[in-house]
Amino acid sequence: MHKKVQLYEGKAKKVFATENEEYCIVSYKDDATAFNGQKKGQIQGKGSINNRVTNHFMQLLEKNGIPTHFVQELNATETVVKKVNIIPLEVIVRNIAAGSLASRLGLEEGVKMSTPVLEYCYKNDALGDPMVNEYHIYAMQFATREELAYIAEYAFKINKILIEYLEKCNLELVDFKLEFGKDCKGQILLADEISPDTCRFWDAKTKEKLDKDRFRRNLGDVSEAYEEVLKRVFGQ
């Protein structure tokens, strides 16, 4: 499969058309941003790590009955995926209080939630990705009731599968962000990425942060943390 015209460039990835209308190629960059693009930098090796970690999780999820956009890894930083229209929602699942949930509710980071928390944000950089609820989503026609019920069910299923897998890697899944899209047949597929950019991973024992919070909060050893996640996820 060959790259043709560039369809889109985001903050961390580029998307290219292919000779097949139903597929496109995602190309992961080392570029990193935080705080809605206000903080910019590079994380050495991030593109290839996020590509490999995402594809590993997508295949794990497929095996467990979750329909995803994954088709085939092409090389270190590029993957063929099914073309989808992205539903403009960030679907966030939280197991442990951290980040914006901790500040919004006045919780200490690290407090375990008694039940997983599901949140939605409207993907819109100009508005700073505001949080929305089901009623906003129906009224804005981002998804129907049936579609959102399906997305929520799959988000919780994905949480269970990932928690169980990551436990064996000595990693705690604190929280993560998912994106879903609709393919040419109207089927909803899990899309985008599942990586240290879009998840919070803590060492299960020391609670050391092994994700993009190292970049967001200037904690140092950013590339090393991404490398460590890659090694653990691949069982090394």
Task: Pick the stretch among 20-28, 44-52, 173-181, 220-228 that binds ligand TMP (CB under 6 A).
Answer: 173-181
State which of residues 200, 209, 214, 232 lies at the interface with ligand TMP (CB under 6 A): 200
User: How many chain residues touch ligand TMP (CB under 6 A)?
Assistant: 11
Q: What is the DSSP string of 67-99?
A: -BSEEEEEETTEEEEE--EE-SEEEEEEEE--H
Residue 16 or 196 having the CB closest to ligand TMP: 196
Mask for 78-97, x = binds ligand TMP (CB under 6 A): --------------x-----
Residue 161 tokens read as 């599968």
Give 90-153 as a DSSP string. Answer: EEEEEEE--HHHHHHHTPPTTPEEEEEEEEEEE--GGGT--EE-HHHHHHTTSS-HHHHHHHHH
Residue 32 binds to ligand TMP (criterion: CB under 6 A)? no
| Number of Cα atoms under 13 Å in the Cβ half of residue 53 | 28
Nearer to ligand TMP, 36 or 59 (CB): 36
Tell me the window of 20-28, 58-66, 155-163, 171-179 that interacts with ligand TMP (CB under 6 A): 171-179
* Ramachandran sector of residue 56 (left: φ over 0; alpha: ψ -120 to 50; beta: rest): alpha
For 115, residues 6+ apart whose C-beta sits below 8 A from its C-beta are none
124 lies in the site for ligand TMP, by CB under 6 A: no
- 74 vs 113 by CB, closer to ligand TMP: 113
| Contact present, 180 and 151 (Cβ < 8 Å) | yes
Nearer to ligand TMP, 74 or 99 (CB): 99
CB of 214 to ligand TMP, least distance (A): 12
What is the distance between the alpha carbons of residues 179 and 142, in angstroms, rounded to a whole number? Answer: 12
Q: Taking CB under 6 A as the rule, does residue 100 contact ligand TMP?
A: yes
* Closest chain position to ligand TMP (CB): 99
**In this structure, is the dihedral angle defined by the CA atoms of residues 20, 22, 28 and 31, taken in order, positive or negative?**
positive
Kindly state the smallest distance separating residue 100's Cβ from ligand TMP, in Å: 3
Residue 194 interacting with ligand TMP (CB under 6 A): no
Site residues for ligand TMP per CB under 6 A? 92, 98-101, 175-177, 198-200
